[in-house]
Structure 1
Amino acid sequence: MPEPVAHRRSAKPTPRASGDEAGPRPGGGPGPSAGAVGTIRVASVPAGHVYVRHLSPPGGDHVVRLADPRPCGAPAGSRQWWPPVMLDADWVDEHAAAFDVFHLHFGFDAQSPSGLRALLDALRRNGKPLVYTVHDLVNPHHHDESEHRAQLDVLVPGADRLITLTPGAAEEITARWGRTALVLPHPHVVPPPGLIRPRPEHDTFMVGVHVKSLRANMDPLPVVRVLADTLSELPGAVLRVDCHPEIDDPASHFHAPGVLDELRGMDRGGRLRLSVHHYFDDDALWDYLIGLDVSVLPYRFGTHSGWLEACHDLGTTVVAPSCGFYAQQRPCLGYGHDRRGLDAASLREAVRTAYEERPAWRAGPADRLAERRRLAREHEALYADLL
């Protein structure tokens, strides 16, 4: 069953729950209203990621986000932002005059909890407020949750304002830390011209599973086996499985012995179409997604998904697992899949429903652009309230 889109609230400061204390307002004293503020300079970690870029309206506003500093070792002219230089407390001390608000989204995987405490200390020392958007309550790249939990135990209590993407994530934040997060939806991922791109016509019913480099939260083989069996019973249905070659490379961190062997065997047996390739660039990714009727997310833990948002932009139906809060992001079909295992019957039912009903849940281009403008206003008002 599809779930409703995340709540959209009016622009106002994040209210504090009982016990919701992060210390005094950096800089002290009440800030000006959004209408009275001039340019607001934001040190955003990161700034160049598509999620952050689309928090600004197409014509710009009063918010100016500092460009991502080039990490040590990154080639000149590179758009690489990781590991984020701004997370260093020394960077904050040296560049405090260049920004008004610090906004952390993601990219702190390699930071120790003590390093994050040093960052918060530097921000307070320089009178700079911290906004933290909680994208991930669990880290999809880590089997062991302990490090990410320790990082969140520093960031969530220490931030001056919290944002997250879904009501369910906000409820968990309140339950775990006694903090209240403002719920703001994910902006569009596909560029505006792609929002009006016609979907291609084809005779098959194409279901895709992209294994990528088999990050920790993926368990694709049980999902693929069920899909192959189910689609074999549906006339015209085809299963396409994509992955990156790292999973077959013994020298790679992502090496997963046996996974590609099984997928190749299923390909040879005509049960699926396997495509092994390096990372798609953006245009190739949009071509891939719009060519699918259904994209199945083979995750067993996680929180939110930009992939799901791109599918919504392009009109590709998503079959999302029960873990995390994917079903609260956008309309999609669901199936049971979490750390305890796969509910095969629910996956079969979801795929059959997609095949029989052919849902049309594509984002309206005007709605997506209006939503982007609302998000920009919400962020600008939140920043202004902190200053």
Structure 2
Amino acid sequence: MAEPLAHHRPGGKPLGTAATRRGVRTAERHGSGRASGSAGIIRVASVPANHVYVRHLSPPEGDRVTRLADPRPCGAPSGSQQWWPPVMLDPGWVDEHADTFDVFHLHFGFDAQTPEALRELLGTLRRNGKPLVYTVHDLANPHHLDEGEHRAQLDVLVPGADRLITLTPGAAQEIAARWGRTATVLPHPHVVEPAGLLRPRPRNGRFTIGLHAKSIRPNMDPLPVVRVLADVLPELPGAVLRVDCHPDVDDPESHWYAPGVLDELRRMSREGRLELSVHDYFDDDALWDYLIGLDVSVLPYRFGTHSGWLEACHDLGTTVVAPSCGFYAQQRPCLIYEHDRQGLDAASLRDAVRTAYAERPAWRADPVERGAERFRIARAHEAIYEALL
């Protein structure tokens, strides 16, 4: 799993469509039921399968649901866990593998697909008698500055899916208002593995406020947030501000190039206003070490919907200060400041950080309840699949 968790959907070249179809299967030939020999098992073509959110849709001991492994994309290194761009989104793959799955479940990874390509995918699923479940993680894509492309994709997927799932009541209300569809609300399962839910938090005497700018995705506006955090720091005895960033934002050849950002952060670091750490993506263990070492994690988003980062912080007991955009406060307990496409309200951010410092909220997930919640989420998915079949 890459550092940005449920919201890391690397783009890729459009998969296109197959010019020829081998072994085209129709609904008349196969019907909508399960293939013979799959007694009691529900086989799901999940896009993706090897992502922590999807893996945790099943309980640790397993259940009736089995998810197909992600096909290796062309050009991906042998033995790698790379799932993007998802091969299953090619209608040709659906035609050739229709007898290997019962339900198609889309989560994310369709960033590079045109609305026309998604319509063809839906048509191919219908022709093969395969129901589509779509979990609406993002109503605004954090990787797209322009909302138009993602809206056009949603205008195909949301009306075309047989069943819809989303993570919060607010997202479900927006889906109902925009498309007249009902989405089942199921919470995000835990992100950190069960053993990590029991990990004790460190005690070092410092109050560490963290902001991770990552590679500065289009939905991030870190510098205004960092400036406010640095200004409020002198009011908080013993507090430090840690800012992390990936080096590609300083590379003119990189897709993520953000000129001037690291220059300002380095200047503020030299002035003693923050501690700057520039590094490549964390692996899972390094990410958990980073998050559990923070008292507060500030999300510098100006648009978005849900957050896997917030879920990981909840697993580890790190307080989150989240923006008012999206539905973060409906996901897990957090402090909210005003930040959206129109800009940042500095006073609300200062107040949220002061509250976190003064009150030290204890919002860590209970490991037993997190496990029980995962079981309930798994059973709810199984029931949705079964009803469709």
- Asked whether the 8 Å contact 1:31–1:384 carries over to 2, the reply is no
SS at match of 1:232: helix
- Asked whether the 8 Å contact 1:232–1:271 carries over to 2, the reply is no
Q: What is the rounded CA distance, in whole Å, between the counterparts of 1:341 and 1:43 in structure 2?
A: 40
- Asked whether the 8 Å contact 1:217–1:301 carries over to 2, the reply is yes
Q: What is the rounded CA distance, in whole Å, between the counterparts of 2:149 and 2:39 in structure 1?
A: 38
- Asked whether the 8 Å contact 2:86–2:109 carries over to 1, the reply is yes
Q: State the aligned residue count.
A: 360
Q: What letter corresponds to residue 249 of structure 2 in structure 1?
A: I
Counterpart of 1:384 in structure 2 is 386
Q: Which of 196, 201, 206 matches 1:199?
A: 201
Q: What letter corresponds to residue 355 of structure 2 in structure 1?
A: T
Cα distance, 1:26 vs. partner? Answer: 10
Q: What is the rounded CA distance, in whole Å, between the counterparts of 1:30 and 1:169 in structure 2?
A: 30
Counterpart of 2:224 in structure 1 is 222
Counterpart of 1:144 in structure 2 is 146
Counterpart of 1:286 in structure 2 is 288
* 163 and 28 in structure 1: CA distance in 2 versus 1, 3 angstrom threshold: farther
Q: What is the rounded CA distance, in whole Å, between the counterparts of 1:87 and 1:27 in structure 2?
A: 22
- The answer on 1:369 being equivalent to 2:363 is no
- Asked whether the 8 Å contact 2:33–2:102 carries over to 1, the reply is no
- Asked whether the 8 Å contact 2:219–2:302 carries over to 1, the reply is yes
Q: What is the rounded CA distance, in whole Å, between the counterparts of 2:346 and 2:307 in structure 1?
A: 22
* 257 and 201 in structure 1: CA distance in 2 versus 1, 3 angstrom threshold: same
Q: What letter corresponds to residue 320 of structure 2 in structure 1?
A: V
1:6-25 equivalences in 2 (<5 Å): none
Deviations 1:211-250 (A, max 9, x none): 0000000000000000001012210010000000000001
Cα distance, 1:329 vs. partner? Answer: 0.2
SS at match of 1:222: helix
SS at match of 2:209: strand
Cα distance, 1:124 vs. partner? Answer: 0.2
Q: What is the rounded CA distance, in whole Å, between the counterparts of 2:274 and 2:304 in structure 1?
A: 26
Q: What letter corresponds to residue 361 of structure 1 in structure 2?
A: W
Counterpart of 1:155 in structure 2 is 157
Q: What letter corresponds to residue 137 of structure 2 in structure 1?
A: H
Q: What is the rounded CA distance, in whole Å, between the counterparts of 2:144 and 2:175 in structure 1?
A: 20
- Asked whether the 8 Å contact 1:44–1:102 carries over to 2, the reply is yes
Report % sequence identity. 80
1:101-140 equivalences in 2 (<5 Å): 101-140=103-142
Q: What is the rounded CA distance, in whole Å, between the counterparts of 1:220 and 1:142 in structure 2?
A: 17
**What's the TM-score, normalizing by structure 2?**
0.91
Q: Which of 321, 324, 327 matches 1:325?
A: 327
Q: What is the rounded CA distance, in whole Å, between the counterparts of 2:39 and 2:327 in structure 1?
A: 35
Cα distance, 1:27 vs. partner? Answer: 9.9
Q: What is the rounded CA distance, in whole Å, between the counterparts of 1:319 and 1:193 in structure 2?
A: 25
Q: What is the rounded CA distance, in whole Å, between the counterparts of 1:31 and 1:178 in structure 2?
A: 28
Runs (4 or more) in structure 1 with deviation over 3 Å come to 25-32
Cα distance, 1:28 vs. partner? Answer: 11
Note the residue ranges of structure 2 that are not aligned, 5 or more in a row: 1-26
SS at match of 1:133: strand
Counterpart of 2:95 in structure 1 is 93
Cα distance, 1:30 vs. partner? Answer: 9.9
Q: What is the rounded CA distance, in whole Å, between the counterparts of 2:78 and 2:222 in structure 1?
A: 37
- Asked whether the 8 Å contact 1:27–1:128 carries over to 2, the reply is no
Q: Which of 222, 239, 253 matches 1:237?
A: 239
* 336 and 94 in structure 1: CA distance in 2 versus 1, 3 angstrom threshold: same
Q: Which of 155, 169, 172 matches 1:167?
A: 169
- The answer on 1:312 being equivalent to 2:314 is yes
- Asked whether the 8 Å contact 2:176–2:182 carries over to 1, the reply is yes
SS at match of 1:59: coil
Q: What is the rounded CA distance, in whole Å, between the counterparts of 1:288 and 1:68 in structure 2?
A: 29
Q: What letter corresponds to residue 101 of structure 1 in structure 2?
A: V
SS at match of 1:295: strand
Counterpart of 2:248 in structure 1 is 246
**What's the TM-score, normalizing by structure 1?**
0.91
Note the residue ranges of structure 1 that are not aligned, 5 or more in a row: 1-24
Deviations 1:260-318 (A, max 9, x none): 00000000000000000000000000000000000000000000000000000000000
* 258 and 27 in structure 1: CA distance in 2 versus 1, 3 angstrom threshold: farther
1:39-50 equivalences in 2 (<5 Å): 39-50=41-52
Counterpart of 1:70 in structure 2 is 72
- Asked whether the 8 Å contact 2:50–2:70 carries over to 1, the reply is yes
User: What's the Cα RMSD here?
Assistant: 1.7
Deviations 1:71-101 (A, max 9, x none): 0000110000000000000000000000000
Q: What is the rounded CA distance, in whole Å, between the counterparts of 1:143 and 1:62 in structure 2?
A: 40
- Asked whether the 8 Å contact 2:30–2:128 carries over to 1, the reply is no
Counterpart of 1:3 in structure 2 is none
